[in-house]
Structures are given as structure tokens and as C-alpha cells.
Amino acid sequence: MVSVAGMRQLTFEGPGRLEWAEVSEPILRGDGDALVRPIAVATCDLDAPIVRGETPFAGPLPLGHECVAEVIEVADQVADLRPGRLVSVPFQISCGSCERCRRGQTAHCEAVPSQSAYGLPPRGQDWGGFLSDVVRVPYAEHMLVALPDAVEPSAAASVSDNIVDAWRTVAPFLAEDPDAAVLVVGGGGPGSIGLYAAGIAIALGASRVTYVDADERRLAIATELGAETIEGLPAERLGPFGITVDASADPAGLALAIRSTGPDGVCTSVGIYFQNQVPLPLFEAYVTGIRFLTGRVHARPAIPAAIDLIASGRLHPELVTTRIAGWDEAPAALAEGEFVKLIFARVRTGADA
């Protein structure tokens, strides 16, 4: 099929300026491609700072990199996906078969240029964003993960990025030590990742989950998820905790997470420190003996487990969602900025899966 149709794509043009751009609709290019139509798109915690001009990212940038989508067309070699199927779409492009991908390091896939992702610099212009009518997905059999019927698309929309970003901070380490107490220092941007981390730790049966934040609305969500809460950042160390998470994007929150990590514990920071230079309490970390992890999530490998946890009824991402808005409301709702997690939803068009 050759398509020359146009479509709408929500585009960040500059601070506070979002526009529906008319662009040409993507077409199938490779034998492993699929075309999908996003039906539930979630905000990433990075989207609000991008829209406000608080990141180094300049426009134009197509927005949206978390979604559940409907498969609308597949290329010849895509055997296991039919049009109408609902799928989670990882935000990063990965091939699934290079050496990095086979090790689960899909953020560093060797088959595509570095940092290839939807809706984010430096390659968002090439791949488009999910607030679009049609999105092309290469390596579709590897990339796309089918959504079970029991899972609401809006509940799973953030699995593409923020939910698996939270997953990697707690799940592998609770598997090593199921009795570990967990500390989450939340609050970076709109702050969904820290809340998901607390919710996932609780869903996985952590003995004790403590959530620290200065924001009353997020503290109330953390309580609803089943976490103990502490309001405001204490100056002294907490714990010690076997597993700590810095989702604050605040140097004081990062220092608190590192200092509160117990002997041979593990601290993961998902915060993005654009300022680059941040003081760390490394002497304390050395004396205690901790593992410290930071870096971009490897989204694709964690998606099936995250979806299973939602399908099992143990993880409730919808508790973190503060608004489900219509598709056409996207520019105004994003610019307004008053959300923890905003979902844009529209009806499915198509065939039954």
C-alpha cells in the first residue's frame, strides 16, 4: 500500500507552545514493520518540564512516548500480530537480536542510532511521537507486547516507559532479597515514577515501603498504594533500607537516598540531572558499602512482567492517574501542567483482535 495521507502530530514548538502539525502518515518500510494507532497515551514525567522549557530540549519535537496502541497494518514477515490487536509500545527502538538486545540492554541496541526513541530528542523527529494518528514500529514482533483483554488501555499506557523505569529500581533487587525494606524519594517533575516504584514494591510483597515527598497530592496517592509516608525531605539519613530509589531529580533527594541505603544495599537514581555536576555523599556510601545505579531504562525487557503485575490485580497504575482527557484536549492539558499522570484516550477504530 502506498499512502500519501496526512495526519495530525502534536508538536512541541517552544516553551508553552504546542501545536497539531500536519505531517505525512508513516508507511510500512521494512519487512518487520507494523503501523499502530495510539489509543491511550500517557505523559512521561519528562513531558511537563519539556513543555515548560525547563530542559535543554528545543522544538520542534513530536510529543508522546508512552502508549497502548491498536495494530492497524503489518508487513509480510510479521506473523504474530493481527490488525485490531492492542499492544504496549516501548518508547525506545530496539531490534531484539543484536548482542546488546540479547543481553537485555535494549537502550543500547546496536541496530539503530544511539538514543532512538519516540517523542524524545535527539531522534524524535525521525520516529514521531505517540500523540499522532499513525506510528511506524520496526522490529514489530520484538517491540510490541500484546495487552491482555483484562487490562484497561489507560491503566497500561505508562508501561512504555515510566512504569518499567520504576520496575527496574525495585523488582530485580526484591527478587534477590524479598525481605528488603524499600525507600522511595519521590517528586521529580510531575512525579509518577516514584509512585509507581512504591506501588510495584508493594505489589511484589516488599515488607516495608516508605515514600518521601513534599507534595501532599502525591503523598495521598502513596498512602492509597499502601506505602508509609514521610512529608518533606529529612536532613538526617533514614533507615537503613536494603533498596533505595531516587526519583526526586533533586540533589538533596539523591543524597538522602544514597545515605539511607544499608550495607550492601542498592540505590537506583532515575532522576535526570541536567546540571551534570551534583555532590554525592561518597564517603558515607563507601563506609556503608552500596551499589549505585543510574542510566536510561532498558524498557522492552521489563514490559511483559509489568503487564502481568497489572493483569494479576496486584499493581494499580490507575491510582497514579490524575486525569483521563480526550485526544483533542492534549495541547491545553499539557500546557496547563497540573497533573501527576495525564492520559489521553480515544476509541478504537478497528477490527476485533
Binding site for Zn ion (CB under 5 A): 44, 46, 94-95, 98, 101, 109, 111, 161
How far is Cα 33 from Cα 212, in angstroms, rounded to an integer?
A: 43
In angstroms, what is the minimal distance from the CB of 198 to Zn ion?
A: 19
Return the C-alpha cell found at 280. 554525592
Q: Given the complex with Zn ion, which of 101 and 145 has the nearer CB atom?
A: 101
Whichever of 111 and 285 has its CB closer to Zn ion, that residue is 111
| CA–CA gap between residue 136 and residue 29 (Å, rounded) | 9
Q: How far is the CB of 19 from Zn ion (least distance, A)?
A: 21
Residue type, position 43, single letter: T
**Least separation, in Å, of the C-beta of 174 and Zn ion?**
23
CA contacts within 13 A on the Cβ side of 169 = 36
CB closer to Zn ion out of 64 and 265: 64
Compute the least distance from the CB of residue 152 to Zn ion, in Å: 21
Instruction: Decide whether 61 or 238 has the Cβ nearer to Zn ion.
Output: 61
CB of 6 to Zn ion, least distance (A): 27
Is 101 or 204 the residue whose CB approaches Zn ion more closely?
101
Report the nearest approach of Zn ion to the CB of residue 325 (Å): 19
CB-nearer residue toward Zn ion: 97 or 223: 97
Closer of 108 and 323 to Zn ion (Cβ): 108
Comparing CB distances to Zn ion, the nearer of 44 and 170 is: 44
Q: Which residue type does 159 have?
A: V
Taking the C-alpha atoms of residue 40 and residue 346, their distance in angstroms, rounded to an integer, is 7
To the nearest whole angstrom, how small is the minimum distance from the Cβ of residue 351 to Zn ion? 30
Give 21 or 98: the residue with its C-beta nearer to Zn ion: 98
Dist CA 96 CA 111 (whole Å) = 9
Give the Cα-Cα-Cα angle 133, 138, 144 (nearest 5 degrees).
75
Minimum distance, C-beta of residue 104 to Zn ion, in the bound complex (Å): 11
- For residue 208, give the nearest of 233, 235, 179 by alpha carbon: 179
Contact 111, 143 (CB under 8 A): no
Cβ 322 to Zn ion shortest distance, Å = 17
